[in-house]
């Protein structure tokens, strides 16, 4: 029987996930489809039971449901449990719903695809302490990045993540700016630079170390003001598109046991975003 998948969120119309997953189904000759479904907060519980009753094989979860969906699931993957957030639901053989989080893992896959796996000893600075930062911090730790610092406008939010990680430190944006040359990998995880956002860059890169790796999770635009500043300083750039594609690919693999072609997808979406 044809399988079907979905992404639920509010708003949802802008999501690039349906195109990406449907393109992979076509390419890999998998008889399945993937649809966006607009689900408001008040309808979340009903939406989850409906997806179950209607036989969805799995779905992605986006803003604002990544945390609130948890009580409606039967099981959580270890990383999703630590993160307290779910972006992927898998319907298991026995019909139970299991929640995963592929956002942070997607970031690490993307980072290592661009710069390799040999930077795990480098001091890492994560800018921001929202849901994205949390996922990235846990995934980096799982992949063996041992020296993590979180810089955030509200230091206590960074400290909360560090406490849960059990290692690292939380600092202010000002301190991060002053000590920037200490870090080999810098990850911008706030919404700074997002198209239409007034918040342009979280901190100055004036003291950026020669040869540093600078990553951003925003992918629209592909080159954020932060990445443009880093590029001027000859940093190695990792844009946010790889994270988006890999979080989808990891979810796809949880659902279907096959890893889709991420390189081709990144190339295609890059061309689309550059138009
Ligand atoms: P998400 O879950 O999508 O990561 P979030 O929880 O709203 O989103 O977090 C947004 C991040 O951007 C936070 O680190 C936030 O800093 P605070 O924790 O101090 O709120 C950061 N952020 C948003 N607007 C900002 C601004 N104008 N200047 C500095 N940091 C900002």
66, 82, 98, 141: which one is catalytic? 66
What the block records as the tokens of 216 is: 């951003």
For ligand 1, atom 26, name the residue with the nearest CA.
199
pLDDT tens, 179-219?
999 999 999 999 998 888 889 999 999 999 999 999 999 99
| pLDDT value for 56 | 98
| pLDDT value for 235 | 98
Q: What is the 3-state secondary structure (H, E, C) of 184-232?
A: CEEEECCCCCCCCCCCCCCCCCCCCCCCCEEEECCCCCCCCHHHHHHHH
For ligand 1, atom 4, name the residue with the nearest CA.
130
| pLDDT value for 196 | 81
- Whether the CB of 104 sits within 6 Å of ligand 1: no
Q: Which atom of ligand 1 is nearest to the CA of 157?
A: 18
Q: For residue 219, give Cα distances in angstroms to 105, 193, 242, 267.
A: 17, 9, 9, 13
Report helix, strand or coil for 243: helix
What the block records as the tokens of 122 is: 């480098």
Q: Which atom of ligand 1 is nearest to the CA of 132?
A: 4
- Whether the CB of 132 sits within 6 Å of ligand 1: yes
Phi, psi angle pair for 209, to nearest 5°: -70, 145
| pLDDT value for 240 | 97
| pLDDT value for 125 | 98
pTM of structure: 0.95
Ranges of the chain whose pLDDT falls below 50: none
Tell how far the Cα of 59 is from the centroid of ligand 1, in angstroms. Answer: 26
For ligand 1, atom 7, name the residue with the nearest CA.
130
- Whether the CB of 127 sits within 6 Å of ligand 1: no
Clarify whether 167 is annotated catalytic.
no
CA distance 271 to 130: 29
Q: Which atom of ligand 1 is nearest to the CA of 134?
A: 4
- Whether the CB of 152 sits within 6 Å of ligand 1: yes
């Amino acid at each position: 029987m044809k399988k079907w998948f979905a992404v639920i969120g509010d708003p949802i119309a802008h999501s690039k996930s349906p195109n990406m997953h449907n393109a992979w189904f076509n390419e890999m000759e998998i008889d399945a489809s993937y649809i966006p479904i607009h689900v408001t907060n008040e309808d979340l519980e009903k939406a989850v039971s409906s997806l179950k009753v209607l036989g969805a094989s799995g779905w992605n979860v986006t803003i604002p449901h990544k945390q609130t969906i948890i009580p409606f699931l039967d099981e959580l993957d270890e990383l999703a449990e630590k993160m307290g957030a779910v972006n992927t639901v898998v319907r298991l053989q026995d019909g139970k719903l299991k929640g995963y989080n592929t956002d942070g893992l997607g970031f690490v896959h993307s980072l290592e695809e661009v710069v390799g796996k040999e930077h795990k000893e480098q001091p890492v600075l994560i800018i921001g302490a929202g849901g994205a930062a949390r996922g990235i911090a846990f995934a980096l730790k799982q992949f063996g990045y041992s020296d993590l610092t979180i810089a955030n406008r509200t230091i206590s939010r960074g400290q909360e993540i560090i406490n849960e990680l059990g290692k690292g430190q939380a600092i202010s944006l000002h301190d991060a700016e002053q000590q920037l040359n200490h870090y080999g990998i810098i990850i911008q995880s706030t919404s700074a630079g997002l198209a239409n956002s007034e918040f342009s860059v979280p901190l100055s890169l004036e003291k950026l170390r020669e040869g540093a790796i600078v990553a951003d999770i925003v992918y629209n635009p592909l080159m954020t003001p932060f990445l443009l500043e880093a590029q001027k300083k000859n940093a190695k750039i990792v844009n946010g598109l790889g994270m988006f594609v890999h979080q989808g690919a990891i979810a796809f693999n949880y659902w279907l046991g096959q890893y889709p072609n991420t390189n081709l997808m990144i190339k295609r979406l890059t061309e689309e975003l550059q138009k």
